[in-house]
Chain A
Amino acid sequence: MTHDANTEMDRFGVDRDQVKPRRKRRGGRGEDLMVPEAEFRSYYGRPIIKAPVWKNPDVPLYLFLGGLAGSSSVLAAMASATDRPTLRRASRLAAAGGAVGGTVFLVHDLHRPQRFLHMLRVFKPTSPLSVGTWILSPFATFAGLTAATEVTGWFRRTGNVTGVAAAVVGPALATYTAVLFSNTAVPTWHEAHRHLPVLFGSSAAAAGGGFGLVFASVADNAPAARLAVTGAVVELATERTMEHDLGMLADVYEKGRAKTLMTASKACLVAGAVGAVVGRRKRWSAALSGLALLAGSALTRFGVFDAGIASANDPAHIVVPQRERIRRREESTRAGSTPPDRRYAPSAGS
Protein backbone atom coordinates (compact mmCIF):
# COMPACT_ATOMS: atom_id res chain seq x y z
CA MET A 1 0.00 0.00 0.00
CA THR A 2 2.95 2.25 0.22
CA HIS A 3 3.63 4.25 -2.84
CA ASP A 4 4.95 7.58 -3.76
CA ALA A 5 2.73 10.44 -2.82
CA ASN A 6 1.28 10.70 -6.27
CA THR A 7 0.06 7.15 -6.46
CA GLU A 8 -1.03 7.17 -2.87
CA MET A 9 -3.14 10.20 -3.52
CA ASP A 10 -4.73 8.74 -6.60
CA ARG A 11 -5.37 5.45 -5.00
CA PHE A 12 -6.88 6.50 -1.77
CA GLY A 13 -9.00 9.18 -3.12
CA VAL A 14 -7.42 12.27 -1.70
CA ASP A 15 -8.12 13.47 -5.16
CA ARG A 16 -11.74 12.49 -4.87
CA ASP A 17 -12.52 13.94 -8.22
CA GLN A 18 -10.84 10.96 -9.80
CA VAL A 19 -12.56 8.35 -7.73
CA LYS A 20 -16.09 9.49 -7.38
CA PRO A 21 -18.59 8.72 -10.05
CA ARG A 22 -20.18 11.68 -11.68
CA ARG A 23 -23.76 12.59 -11.20
CA LYS A 24 -24.29 14.27 -14.51
CA ARG A 25 -21.80 13.75 -17.22
CA ARG A 26 -21.11 13.98 -20.87
CA GLY A 27 -23.47 16.87 -21.36
CA GLY A 28 -24.65 16.82 -24.95
CA ARG A 29 -23.38 13.41 -25.87
CA GLY A 30 -25.45 11.36 -23.51
CA GLU A 31 -26.92 9.28 -26.27
CA ASP A 32 -23.51 7.85 -27.04
CA LEU A 33 -23.21 5.97 -23.79
CA MET A 34 -22.08 2.41 -24.30
CA VAL A 35 -23.84 1.54 -21.07
CA PRO A 36 -26.69 3.42 -19.52
CA GLU A 37 -26.26 5.60 -16.51
CA ALA A 38 -26.56 3.25 -13.63
CA GLU A 39 -26.29 3.24 -9.96
CA PHE A 40 -23.66 0.89 -8.78
CA ARG A 41 -22.50 -0.57 -5.55
CA SER A 42 -18.97 -0.82 -4.32
CA TYR A 43 -16.86 -1.44 -1.27
CA TYR A 44 -16.96 2.02 0.29
CA GLY A 45 -16.22 3.60 -3.07
CA ARG A 46 -12.72 2.19 -3.07
CA PRO A 47 -10.90 1.31 -6.28
CA ILE A 48 -11.29 -2.32 -7.32
CA ILE A 49 -8.20 -2.78 -9.46
CA LYS A 50 -4.78 -1.38 -8.73
CA ALA A 51 -3.70 1.63 -10.74
CA PRO A 52 -0.45 1.18 -12.64
CA VAL A 53 2.60 1.93 -10.51
CA TRP A 54 4.45 3.08 -13.58
CA LYS A 55 6.23 6.33 -13.04
CA ASN A 56 5.21 9.61 -14.54
CA PRO A 57 6.84 11.10 -16.66
CA ASP A 58 9.03 8.07 -17.38
CA VAL A 59 6.46 5.88 -19.08
CA PRO A 60 4.61 8.52 -21.13
CA LEU A 61 7.95 9.92 -22.22
CA TYR A 62 9.15 6.45 -23.15
CA LEU A 63 6.04 6.02 -25.26
CA PHE A 64 6.63 9.35 -26.96
CA LEU A 65 10.32 8.71 -27.59
CA GLY A 66 9.62 5.23 -28.88
CA GLY A 67 7.12 6.64 -31.34
CA LEU A 68 9.46 9.43 -32.40
CA ALA A 69 12.31 6.98 -32.91
CA GLY A 70 10.18 4.46 -34.76
CA SER A 71 8.81 6.81 -37.40
CA SER A 72 12.09 8.72 -37.67
CA SER A 73 13.94 5.53 -38.55
CA VAL A 74 11.74 5.05 -41.63
CA LEU A 75 12.13 8.69 -42.61
CA ALA A 76 15.90 8.37 -42.21
CA ALA A 77 16.13 5.27 -44.39
CA MET A 78 13.98 6.84 -47.09
CA ALA A 79 15.83 10.14 -46.91
CA SER A 80 19.06 8.25 -47.33
CA ALA A 81 17.67 6.44 -50.37
CA THR A 82 16.31 9.62 -51.96
CA ASP A 83 19.35 11.72 -51.13
CA ARG A 84 18.00 14.22 -48.63
CA PRO A 85 21.02 14.65 -46.39
CA THR A 86 19.64 17.04 -43.78
CA LEU A 87 16.48 15.02 -43.26
CA ARG A 88 18.54 11.84 -43.15
CA ARG A 89 20.85 13.25 -40.54
CA ALA A 90 18.08 14.68 -38.35
CA SER A 91 15.98 11.52 -38.51
CA ARG A 92 18.88 9.20 -37.82
CA LEU A 93 19.77 11.20 -34.75
CA ALA A 94 16.13 11.26 -33.66
CA ALA A 95 15.89 7.48 -34.06
CA ALA A 96 19.01 6.86 -32.02
CA GLY A 97 18.26 9.53 -29.46
CA GLY A 98 14.68 8.35 -29.03
CA ALA A 99 15.74 4.74 -28.64
CA VAL A 100 18.50 5.49 -26.16
CA GLY A 101 16.44 8.02 -24.22
CA GLY A 102 13.48 5.66 -24.18
CA THR A 103 15.67 2.86 -22.87
CA VAL A 104 16.93 5.09 -20.09
CA PHE A 105 13.39 6.00 -19.07
CA LEU A 106 12.28 2.39 -19.30
CA VAL A 107 15.10 1.27 -17.02
CA HIS A 108 14.52 4.14 -14.64
CA ASP A 109 10.87 3.19 -14.44
CA LEU A 110 11.76 -0.21 -13.01
CA HIS A 111 11.51 -0.44 -9.27
CA ARG A 112 14.65 -2.56 -9.35
CA PRO A 113 16.57 -0.93 -12.20
CA GLN A 114 19.75 -2.87 -11.49
CA ARG A 115 17.89 -5.93 -12.75
CA PHE A 116 16.90 -4.50 -16.10
CA LEU A 117 18.69 -7.32 -17.89
CA HIS A 118 16.15 -9.75 -16.45
CA MET A 119 13.91 -8.43 -19.19
CA LEU A 120 16.05 -10.43 -21.62
CA ARG A 121 15.81 -13.70 -19.68
CA VAL A 122 12.84 -14.86 -21.69
CA PHE A 123 10.86 -14.06 -24.78
CA LYS A 124 7.16 -14.14 -23.93
CA PRO A 125 4.66 -13.30 -26.66
CA THR A 126 1.98 -13.13 -23.98
CA SER A 127 3.77 -10.20 -22.35
CA PRO A 128 3.77 -7.00 -24.41
CA LEU A 129 6.59 -5.68 -22.26
CA SER A 130 8.74 -8.69 -23.11
CA VAL A 131 7.97 -8.34 -26.81
CA GLY A 132 8.66 -4.62 -26.55
CA THR A 133 12.03 -5.27 -24.98
CA TRP A 134 12.90 -7.54 -27.87
CA ILE A 135 11.77 -4.87 -30.32
CA LEU A 136 13.59 -2.07 -28.53
CA SER A 137 16.90 -3.89 -28.10
CA PRO A 138 17.66 -4.59 -31.76
CA PHE A 139 16.17 -1.27 -32.79
CA ALA A 140 18.36 0.69 -30.40
CA THR A 141 21.38 -1.26 -31.62
CA PHE A 142 20.68 -0.60 -35.30
CA ALA A 143 19.63 3.00 -34.81
CA GLY A 144 22.64 3.69 -32.60
CA LEU A 145 25.06 2.22 -35.12
CA THR A 146 23.42 4.20 -37.91
CA ALA A 147 23.68 7.43 -35.97
CA ALA A 148 27.30 6.68 -35.12
CA THR A 149 28.20 6.29 -38.80
CA GLU A 150 26.26 9.46 -39.55
CA VAL A 151 28.11 11.49 -36.95
CA THR A 152 31.59 10.11 -37.58
CA GLY A 153 31.32 9.62 -41.29
CA TRP A 154 32.93 6.19 -40.99
CA PHE A 155 31.46 2.99 -42.51
CA ARG A 156 28.76 4.87 -44.38
CA ARG A 157 27.60 1.82 -46.28
CA THR A 158 27.25 -0.20 -43.10
CA GLY A 159 25.27 2.70 -41.73
CA ASN A 160 22.88 2.52 -44.65
CA VAL A 161 22.32 -1.18 -44.04
CA THR A 162 21.74 -0.82 -40.30
CA GLY A 163 19.52 2.17 -41.06
CA VAL A 164 17.26 -0.02 -43.19
CA ALA A 165 17.26 -2.67 -40.48
CA ALA A 166 16.17 -0.08 -37.92
CA ALA A 167 13.45 1.14 -40.28
CA VAL A 168 12.06 -2.36 -40.57
CA VAL A 169 11.75 -2.69 -36.79
CA GLY A 170 10.89 0.95 -36.09
CA PRO A 171 7.14 1.07 -36.78
CA ALA A 172 6.61 -1.87 -34.42
CA LEU A 173 8.33 0.11 -31.67
CA ALA A 174 5.81 2.88 -32.24
CA THR A 175 2.69 0.72 -32.04
CA TYR A 176 3.50 -2.10 -29.62
CA THR A 177 3.13 0.38 -26.75
CA ALA A 178 -0.58 0.43 -27.51
CA VAL A 179 -0.71 -3.28 -26.71
CA LEU A 180 1.33 -2.56 -23.59
CA PHE A 181 -1.42 -0.28 -22.33
CA SER A 182 -4.48 -2.07 -23.60
CA ASN A 183 -3.42 -5.51 -22.36
CA THR A 184 -4.20 -4.46 -18.79
CA ALA A 185 -7.34 -4.54 -16.69
CA VAL A 186 -7.53 -0.72 -16.83
CA PRO A 187 -10.96 -0.23 -18.43
CA THR A 188 -10.24 2.93 -20.42
CA TRP A 189 -7.13 1.36 -21.92
CA HIS A 190 -8.38 -2.15 -22.42
CA GLU A 191 -11.63 -1.18 -24.10
CA ALA A 192 -9.69 1.08 -26.48
CA HIS A 193 -7.56 -1.77 -27.76
CA ARG A 194 -8.79 -1.20 -31.28
CA HIS A 195 -8.03 2.52 -31.19
CA LEU A 196 -4.81 2.82 -29.25
CA PRO A 197 -2.53 1.27 -31.89
CA VAL A 198 -3.80 3.72 -34.51
CA LEU A 199 -3.65 6.59 -32.03
CA PHE A 200 -0.09 5.82 -31.03
CA GLY A 201 1.03 5.03 -34.57
CA SER A 202 -0.33 8.28 -35.96
CA SER A 203 1.03 10.17 -32.99
CA ALA A 204 4.42 8.66 -33.78
CA ALA A 205 4.10 9.85 -37.38
CA ALA A 206 3.34 13.35 -36.17
CA ALA A 207 6.37 13.27 -33.88
CA GLY A 208 8.79 11.88 -36.46
CA GLY A 209 7.58 14.28 -39.12
CA GLY A 210 7.65 17.14 -36.65
CA PHE A 211 11.24 16.41 -35.75
CA GLY A 212 12.15 16.43 -39.41
CA LEU A 213 10.40 19.78 -39.84
CA VAL A 214 12.40 21.27 -36.99
CA PHE A 215 15.84 20.12 -38.04
CA ALA A 216 15.83 19.36 -41.78
CA SER A 217 16.37 22.08 -44.35
CA VAL A 218 13.33 23.39 -46.21
CA ALA A 219 14.67 21.74 -49.36
CA ASP A 220 14.45 18.33 -47.73
CA ASN A 221 11.47 18.59 -45.44
CA ALA A 222 8.54 17.91 -47.79
CA PRO A 223 8.19 14.21 -46.86
CA ALA A 224 8.47 15.05 -43.17
CA ALA A 225 5.70 17.62 -43.51
CA ARG A 226 3.47 15.16 -45.33
CA LEU A 227 4.01 12.43 -42.77
CA ALA A 228 3.47 14.85 -39.89
CA VAL A 229 0.23 16.24 -41.29
CA THR A 230 -1.08 12.76 -42.08
CA GLY A 231 -0.20 11.66 -38.58
CA ALA A 232 -1.81 14.67 -36.93
CA VAL A 233 -5.03 14.31 -38.90
CA VAL A 234 -5.33 10.59 -38.24
CA GLU A 235 -4.49 11.11 -34.59
CA LEU A 236 -7.15 13.77 -34.12
CA ALA A 237 -9.74 11.63 -35.86
CA THR A 238 -8.79 8.49 -33.92
CA GLU A 239 -8.88 10.31 -30.63
CA ARG A 240 -12.39 11.46 -31.39
CA THR A 241 -13.55 8.01 -32.42
CA MET A 242 -11.96 6.48 -29.35
CA GLU A 243 -13.74 8.81 -26.97
CA HIS A 244 -17.00 8.17 -28.75
CA ASP A 245 -16.66 4.40 -28.70
CA LEU A 246 -15.55 4.30 -25.09
CA GLY A 247 -18.91 5.61 -23.96
CA MET A 248 -19.03 6.12 -20.22
CA LEU A 249 -15.39 5.07 -19.91
CA ALA A 250 -14.42 8.22 -21.82
CA ASP A 251 -15.40 10.42 -18.91
CA VAL A 252 -11.83 10.33 -17.65
CA TYR A 253 -10.85 12.24 -20.76
CA GLU A 254 -13.35 14.91 -19.88
CA LYS A 255 -12.14 15.95 -16.49
CA GLY A 256 -9.02 16.65 -14.54
CA ARG A 257 -5.53 16.66 -15.89
CA ALA A 258 -6.24 14.20 -18.70
CA LYS A 259 -8.71 16.67 -20.18
CA THR A 260 -6.21 19.51 -19.99
CA LEU A 261 -3.51 17.40 -21.59
CA MET A 262 -5.73 16.12 -24.38
CA THR A 263 -7.06 19.59 -25.13
CA ALA A 264 -3.54 20.97 -25.28
CA SER A 265 -2.54 18.04 -27.46
CA LYS A 266 -5.31 18.73 -29.95
CA ALA A 267 -4.47 22.44 -30.08
CA CYS A 268 -0.81 21.68 -30.72
CA LEU A 269 -1.60 19.12 -33.40
CA VAL A 270 -3.99 21.44 -35.23
CA ALA A 271 -1.59 24.36 -35.05
CA GLY A 272 1.32 22.20 -36.11
CA ALA A 273 -0.53 20.61 -38.99
CA VAL A 274 -1.78 23.93 -40.32
CA GLY A 275 1.68 25.43 -39.90
CA ALA A 276 3.27 22.51 -41.71
CA VAL A 277 0.93 22.88 -44.66
CA VAL A 278 1.18 26.66 -44.88
CA GLY A 279 4.65 27.42 -43.67
CA ARG A 280 6.81 24.45 -44.54
CA ARG A 281 8.96 26.47 -46.92
CA LYS A 282 10.01 29.04 -44.36
CA ARG A 283 12.66 27.85 -41.95
CA TRP A 284 11.19 29.41 -38.84
CA SER A 285 7.57 28.48 -39.47
CA ALA A 286 8.56 24.93 -40.39
CA ALA A 287 10.50 24.66 -37.13
CA LEU A 288 7.65 26.09 -35.07
CA SER A 289 5.15 23.72 -36.67
CA GLY A 290 7.46 20.82 -36.00
CA LEU A 291 7.77 21.78 -32.36
CA ALA A 292 4.00 22.02 -32.03
CA LEU A 293 3.58 18.58 -33.57
CA LEU A 294 6.19 17.10 -31.25
CA ALA A 295 4.46 18.67 -28.27
CA GLY A 296 1.07 17.44 -29.44
CA SER A 297 2.36 13.91 -29.79
CA ALA A 298 3.94 13.93 -26.35
CA LEU A 299 0.86 15.45 -24.71
CA THR A 300 -1.31 12.68 -26.16
CA ARG A 301 0.77 10.05 -24.37
CA PHE A 302 0.61 11.96 -21.12
CA GLY A 303 -3.14 12.38 -21.49
CA VAL A 304 -3.78 8.71 -22.22
CA PHE A 305 -1.58 7.76 -19.28
CA ASP A 306 -3.43 10.04 -16.89
CA ALA A 307 -6.80 8.87 -18.14
CA GLY A 308 -5.79 5.29 -17.44
CA ILE A 309 -4.79 6.07 -13.86
CA ALA A 310 -8.10 7.83 -13.26
CA SER A 311 -10.00 4.96 -14.85
CA ALA A 312 -8.29 2.35 -12.67
CA ASN A 313 -9.15 4.35 -9.57
CA ASP A 314 -12.82 4.63 -10.43
CA PRO A 315 -14.84 1.62 -9.23
CA ALA A 316 -17.66 2.70 -11.56
CA HIS A 317 -15.43 1.87 -14.51
CA ILE A 318 -15.21 -1.71 -13.30
CA VAL A 319 -18.65 -2.35 -11.86
CA VAL A 320 -20.98 -0.60 -14.31
CA PRO A 321 -19.66 -2.11 -17.58
CA GLN A 322 -19.29 -5.55 -16.00
CA ARG A 323 -22.83 -5.44 -14.63
CA GLU A 324 -24.02 -4.42 -18.07
CA ARG A 325 -22.10 -7.33 -19.55
CA ILE A 326 -23.75 -9.73 -17.12
CA ARG A 327 -27.15 -8.29 -17.91
CA ARG A 328 -26.65 -8.70 -21.65
CA ARG A 329 -25.33 -12.20 -21.27
CA GLU A 330 -28.30 -13.19 -19.17
CA GLU A 331 -30.62 -11.67 -21.72
CA SER A 332 -29.02 -13.54 -24.58
CA THR A 333 -28.79 -16.88 -22.83
CA ARG A 334 -32.38 -16.25 -21.85
CA ALA A 335 -34.11 -16.42 -18.56
CA GLY A 336 -34.84 -19.71 -16.93
CA SER A 337 -31.20 -20.64 -16.93
CA THR A 338 -29.90 -18.97 -13.81
CA PRO A 339 -26.21 -18.11 -13.79
CA PRO A 340 -24.08 -20.93 -12.47
CA ASP A 341 -23.10 -19.12 -9.30
CA ARG A 342 -26.74 -18.92 -8.25
CA ARG A 343 -27.75 -22.33 -9.37
CA TYR A 344 -30.06 -22.78 -6.41
CA ALA A 345 -31.21 -19.22 -6.16
CA PRO A 346 -34.44 -17.87 -7.53
CA SER A 347 -33.66 -15.39 -10.26
CA ALA A 348 -35.64 -12.72 -8.46
CA GLY A 349 -33.10 -12.79 -5.64
CA SER A 350 -31.23 -9.86 -7.03
Chain B
Amino acid sequence: MNFQAMKTIYIFEMARFFRTLTQSFISPVISTSLYFVVFGTAIGSRIESVEGVGYGAFIVPGLVMLSVMTQATSNASFGIYFPKFTGTIYELLSAPVSFFEITVGYVGAAATKAMFIGLVILATSFLFVDFTIEHPIAMIAFLTLTCLSFSLLGFIIGIWAGNFEQLQLIPLLIITPLVFLGGSFYSVTMLPPIWQTITMFNPVVYLISGFRWSFFGTADVSIGLSLFAIALFTCVCLGIIAWIFRTGWRIRQ
Protein backbone atom coordinates (compact mmCIF):
# COMPACT_ATOMS: atom_id res chain seq x y z
CA MET B 1 0.00 0.00 0.00
CA ASN B 2 1.41 3.36 -1.03
CA PHE B 3 0.34 5.48 1.96
CA GLN B 4 2.68 8.26 0.93
CA ALA B 5 0.80 8.61 -2.35
CA MET B 6 -2.60 8.71 -0.66
CA LYS B 7 -1.34 11.38 1.70
CA THR B 8 0.22 13.31 -1.18
CA ILE B 9 -2.99 13.35 -3.23
CA TYR B 10 -5.04 14.28 -0.17
CA ILE B 11 -2.77 17.17 0.81
CA PHE B 12 -2.52 18.41 -2.79
CA GLU B 13 -6.31 18.47 -3.11
CA MET B 14 -6.80 20.13 0.27
CA ALA B 15 -4.26 22.79 -0.73
CA ARG B 16 -6.47 23.67 -3.69
CA PHE B 17 -9.36 24.09 -1.26
CA PHE B 18 -7.45 26.34 1.11
CA ARG B 19 -6.16 28.42 -1.78
CA THR B 20 -9.73 29.28 -2.65
CA LEU B 21 -10.84 29.46 0.96
CA THR B 22 -12.85 32.64 0.59
CA GLN B 23 -15.05 31.37 -2.18
CA SER B 24 -15.19 27.89 -0.67
CA PHE B 25 -16.66 29.26 2.57
CA ILE B 26 -18.29 32.54 1.75
CA SER B 27 -20.62 31.29 -0.98
CA PRO B 28 -22.24 28.46 1.05
CA VAL B 29 -22.56 30.75 4.06
CA ILE B 30 -24.27 33.46 2.03
CA SER B 31 -26.62 31.09 0.24
CA THR B 32 -27.56 29.42 3.54
CA SER B 33 -28.24 32.78 5.11
CA LEU B 34 -30.52 33.61 2.18
CA TYR B 35 -32.45 30.38 2.71
CA PHE B 36 -32.90 31.27 6.36
CA VAL B 37 -34.11 34.75 5.53
CA VAL B 38 -36.56 33.54 2.87
CA PHE B 39 -37.76 30.21 4.24
CA GLY B 40 -37.06 30.56 7.92
CA THR B 41 -38.12 34.12 8.58
CA ALA B 42 -40.38 35.30 5.75
CA ILE B 43 -42.30 32.09 4.99
CA GLY B 44 -41.53 30.25 8.20
CA SER B 45 -43.22 32.90 10.31
CA ARG B 46 -46.53 31.80 8.73
CA ILE B 47 -45.86 28.13 9.48
CA GLU B 48 -46.14 27.38 13.18
CA SER B 49 -44.29 24.12 13.39
CA VAL B 50 -43.60 20.86 11.56
CA GLU B 51 -43.75 17.71 13.67
CA GLY B 52 -43.44 19.82 16.81
CA VAL B 53 -40.32 21.67 15.62
CA GLY B 54 -40.27 25.37 14.71
CA TYR B 55 -40.01 25.69 10.90
CA GLY B 56 -36.79 27.69 11.06
CA ALA B 57 -35.10 24.91 13.00
CA PHE B 58 -36.82 22.20 10.96
CA ILE B 59 -35.06 23.21 7.74
CA VAL B 60 -31.55 23.26 9.30
CA PRO B 61 -30.76 19.56 8.68
CA GLY B 62 -32.14 19.80 5.14
CA LEU B 63 -30.07 22.88 4.39
CA VAL B 64 -26.90 21.27 5.71
CA MET B 65 -27.60 18.16 3.64
CA LEU B 66 -28.36 20.21 0.53
CA SER B 67 -24.97 21.94 0.69
CA VAL B 68 -23.05 18.86 1.73
CA MET B 69 -24.42 16.74 -1.09
CA THR B 70 -23.85 19.31 -3.81
CA GLN B 71 -20.43 20.29 -2.46
CA ALA B 72 -19.24 16.69 -2.06
CA THR B 73 -20.35 15.85 -5.58
CA SER B 74 -18.87 18.90 -7.25
CA ASN B 75 -15.60 18.79 -5.29
CA ALA B 76 -14.96 15.14 -6.02
CA SER B 77 -15.99 15.34 -9.66
CA PHE B 78 -13.82 18.40 -10.25
CA GLY B 79 -10.91 16.84 -8.33
CA ILE B 80 -10.57 13.89 -10.71
CA TYR B 81 -11.85 15.65 -13.83
CA PHE B 82 -9.26 18.43 -13.67
CA PRO B 83 -6.22 16.12 -14.12
CA LYS B 84 -8.04 14.57 -17.06
CA PHE B 85 -8.65 18.03 -18.49
CA THR B 86 -5.08 19.31 -18.00
CA GLY B 87 -3.55 15.98 -18.99
CA THR B 88 -1.73 15.50 -15.68
CA ILE B 89 -3.62 12.22 -15.30
CA TYR B 90 -0.62 10.62 -17.06
CA GLU B 91 1.23 10.94 -13.81
CA LEU B 92 -1.41 9.11 -11.79
CA LEU B 93 -1.48 6.34 -14.37
CA SER B 94 2.28 5.88 -14.49
CA ALA B 95 2.84 6.10 -10.73
CA PRO B 96 3.07 3.02 -8.52
CA VAL B 97 -0.40 3.59 -7.12
CA SER B 98 -3.46 1.40 -7.36
CA PHE B 99 -6.85 2.90 -8.07
CA PHE B 100 -7.75 2.26 -4.46
CA GLU B 101 -5.13 4.77 -3.35
CA ILE B 102 -6.21 7.27 -5.99
CA THR B 103 -9.82 6.98 -4.82
CA VAL B 104 -8.94 7.30 -1.15
CA GLY B 105 -6.88 10.42 -1.86
CA TYR B 106 -9.42 12.24 -4.03
CA VAL B 107 -12.61 11.08 -2.32
CA GLY B 108 -11.10 11.61 1.13
CA ALA B 109 -10.19 15.20 0.29
CA ALA B 110 -13.58 15.94 -1.31
CA ALA B 111 -15.43 14.47 1.68
CA THR B 112 -13.31 16.51 4.09
CA LYS B 113 -14.12 19.72 2.24
CA ALA B 114 -17.83 18.92 2.19
CA MET B 115 -17.70 18.13 5.89
CA PHE B 116 -16.05 21.50 6.61
CA ILE B 117 -18.74 23.31 4.68
CA GLY B 118 -21.50 21.31 6.38
CA LEU B 119 -20.17 22.25 9.79
CA VAL B 120 -19.80 25.90 8.80
CA ILE B 121 -23.43 25.98 7.65
CA LEU B 122 -24.52 24.32 10.88
CA ALA B 123 -22.63 26.95 12.83
CA THR B 124 -24.20 29.71 10.70
CA SER B 125 -27.69 28.40 11.36
CA PHE B 126 -27.19 28.85 15.10
CA LEU B 127 -27.06 32.57 14.36
CA PHE B 128 -30.59 32.48 12.92
CA VAL B 129 -32.50 29.91 14.93
CA ASP B 130 -32.41 28.26 18.29
CA PHE B 131 -32.22 24.45 18.44
CA THR B 132 -30.40 21.60 20.09
CA ILE B 133 -28.99 18.44 18.55
CA GLU B 134 -30.41 15.40 20.32
CA HIS B 135 -28.00 12.79 19.01
CA PRO B 136 -24.72 14.58 18.18
CA ILE B 137 -22.75 11.41 17.54
CA ALA B 138 -25.37 10.04 15.15
CA MET B 139 -25.47 13.49 13.51
CA ILE B 140 -21.72 13.42 12.84
CA ALA B 141 -21.94 9.83 11.64
CA PHE B 142 -24.74 10.63 9.17
CA LEU B 143 -22.90 13.71 7.98
CA THR B 144 -19.68 11.75 7.45
CA LEU B 145 -21.41 8.95 5.57
CA THR B 146 -23.23 11.43 3.36
CA CYS B 147 -19.99 13.30 2.59
CA LEU B 148 -18.26 10.05 1.69
CA SER B 149 -21.00 8.52 -0.41
CA PHE B 150 -21.68 11.67 -2.42
CA SER B 151 -17.95 12.21 -2.91
CA LEU B 152 -17.81 8.69 -4.35
CA LEU B 153 -20.69 9.60 -6.65
CA GLY B 154 -18.89 12.80 -7.66
CA PHE B 155 -15.73 10.82 -8.35
CA ILE B 156 -17.67 8.61 -10.77
CA ILE B 157 -19.14 11.67 -12.48
CA GLY B 158 -15.69 13.21 -12.81
CA ILE B 159 -14.34 10.09 -14.51
CA TRP B 160 -17.36 9.85 -16.78
CA ALA B 161 -17.45 13.51 -17.80
CA GLY B 162 -15.88 14.37 -21.13
CA ASN B 163 -16.19 18.14 -20.75
CA PHE B 164 -17.09 20.81 -18.20
CA GLU B 165 -20.73 20.83 -19.27
CA GLN B 166 -21.18 17.17 -18.48
CA LEU B 167 -19.47 17.81 -15.18
CA GLN B 168 -22.31 20.17 -14.22
CA LEU B 169 -25.05 18.14 -15.85
CA ILE B 170 -25.72 15.39 -13.33
CA PRO B 171 -25.55 17.62 -10.26
CA LEU B 172 -27.88 20.09 -11.94
CA LEU B 173 -30.35 17.66 -13.48
CA ILE B 174 -30.43 14.90 -10.90
CA ILE B 175 -28.88 15.73 -7.56
CA THR B 176 -30.38 19.19 -6.97
CA PRO B 177 -33.97 18.10 -7.81
CA LEU B 178 -33.64 14.95 -5.72
CA VAL B 179 -32.41 16.96 -2.76
CA PHE B 180 -35.10 19.63 -3.11
CA LEU B 181 -37.81 16.99 -3.47
CA GLY B 182 -36.27 14.84 -0.76
CA GLY B 183 -37.82 16.69 2.13
CA SER B 184 -35.17 19.32 2.74
CA PHE B 185 -37.78 21.97 3.43
CA TYR B 186 -40.82 19.91 4.36
CA SER B 187 -41.84 16.68 5.98
CA VAL B 188 -42.75 13.92 3.59
CA THR B 189 -45.96 13.42 5.59
CA MET B 190 -47.15 16.84 4.41
CA LEU B 191 -47.47 15.51 0.84
CA PRO B 192 -50.61 13.93 -0.67
CA PRO B 193 -50.50 10.08 -0.37
CA ILE B 194 -49.62 9.47 -4.03
CA TRP B 195 -46.61 11.80 -3.81
CA GLN B 196 -45.58 10.22 -0.54
CA THR B 197 -45.29 6.88 -2.36
CA ILE B 198 -43.35 8.40 -5.25
CA THR B 199 -41.04 10.21 -2.86
CA MET B 200 -40.05 6.90 -1.27
CA PHE B 201 -38.11 6.11 -4.46
CA ASN B 202 -35.94 9.13 -3.88
CA PRO B 203 -32.83 7.91 -2.03
CA VAL B 204 -32.16 11.37 -0.63
CA VAL B 205 -35.35 11.14 1.49
CA TYR B 206 -33.72 8.48 3.64
CA LEU B 207 -30.57 10.48 4.18
CA ILE B 208 -32.36 13.70 5.13
CA SER B 209 -34.83 11.83 7.31
CA GLY B 210 -32.08 10.06 9.23
CA PHE B 211 -30.08 13.26 9.56
CA ARG B 212 -33.13 15.14 10.84
CA TRP B 213 -33.78 12.38 13.35
CA SER B 214 -30.32 13.00 14.85
CA PHE B 215 -31.37 16.61 15.47
CA PHE B 216 -34.95 16.32 16.68
CA GLY B 217 -35.63 12.66 17.33
CA THR B 218 -38.40 12.53 14.72
CA ALA B 219 -38.13 11.03 11.25
CA ASP B 220 -40.19 10.32 8.14
CA VAL B 221 -38.75 6.83 7.79
CA SER B 222 -37.17 4.54 10.37
CA ILE B 223 -33.51 5.03 11.27
CA GLY B 224 -32.68 1.44 10.33
CA LEU B 225 -34.03 2.05 6.85
CA SER B 226 -32.07 5.31 6.57
CA LEU B 227 -28.85 3.59 7.53
CA PHE B 228 -29.58 0.76 5.14
CA ALA B 229 -30.24 3.23 2.30
CA ILE B 230 -27.01 5.15 2.82
CA ALA B 231 -25.02 1.91 3.13
CA LEU B 232 -26.60 0.61 -0.07
CA PHE B 233 -25.85 3.86 -1.89
CA THR B 234 -22.22 3.78 -0.76
CA CYS B 235 -21.87 0.14 -1.81
CA VAL B 236 -23.30 0.83 -5.27
CA CYS B 237 -20.83 3.71 -5.76
CA LEU B 238 -17.93 1.56 -4.55
CA GLY B 239 -19.01 -1.21 -6.89
CA ILE B 240 -19.07 1.13 -9.87
CA ILE B 241 -15.64 2.52 -8.97
CA ALA B 242 -14.23 -1.00 -8.62
CA TRP B 243 -15.57 -1.79 -12.09
CA ILE B 244 -14.15 1.44 -13.54
CA PHE B 245 -10.74 0.61 -12.18
CA ARG B 246 -10.77 -2.96 -13.35
CA THR B 247 -11.64 -1.97 -16.89
CA GLY B 248 -9.85 1.39 -17.02
CA TRP B 249 -13.07 2.89 -18.38
CA ARG B 250 -12.54 6.47 -19.57
CA ILE B 251 -9.16 6.55 -17.89
CA ARG B 252 -6.73 4.09 -19.41
CA GLN B 253 -6.87 3.19 -23.07
Decide whether A and B assemble into one complex: no
Interface residues of A (CB under 8 A from B): none
Interface residues of B (CB under 8 A from A): none
